[in-house]
Amino acid sequence: MTLTEEQINAYVERAATLREQGFNCSQAVFAACAGLYGMDEETALRVSASFGGGIGQMRQTCGAACGMFLLAGLENGNSTPNQPQAKQLNYRLVQRLAADFKEHNGGIICADLLGLNGNATPSQKRPCKEMIKDAVRQYLCTIS
């Protein structure tokens, strides 16, 4: 799949709009791009709903990153058992996405990204929208 910069920007803006409408980070990333794989937006929003707030608002793995990982499964996840090569291909994609997300954003743990761990003071401005946009752009550039 090859996308133009204009197309990538449209997906990025769709994700930002979904977030502004009140959907969580995972929903915004996943639903903005799931149509590339033939999934309708309503189904995508439902599938990704549990991963917001660092997975169920537990502040673990960032929802925007989770959205990318869900998309990776649509891109090259296996759908039949006993396919170790297919699993490894998917795991490598997820690991690459995670490493790039960490490099761009400083980590993949929601609480860390929001400054909620340790002695850090929580940010007055949540960086979620920017991370959502970064996740969509990063994902689409990685698979293009």
Q: Where are the domains of the chain?
A: 5-143
Q: Kindly report, residue by residue over 19-74, the tens digit of the pLDDT.
A: 999 999 999 999 999 999 999 999 999 999 999 999 999 999 999 999 999 999 99
Specify the pTM.
0.93
Distance (Å, whole) CA 64 – CA 129: 9
Residue with tokens 């058992």: 81
Q: What pLDDT score does 124 carry?
A: 47
Over the stretch 113-126, which tens digit does the pLDDT of each residue have?
998 876 455 544 57
Query: In angstroms, rounded to a whole number, what is the distance separating the alpha carbons of residues 113 and 105?
Result: 8
Distance CA 50, CA 63 (A): 9
pLDDT at 118: 64
- Mean of the per-residue pLDDT values for the chain? 93
3-class DSSP state of 61:
strand
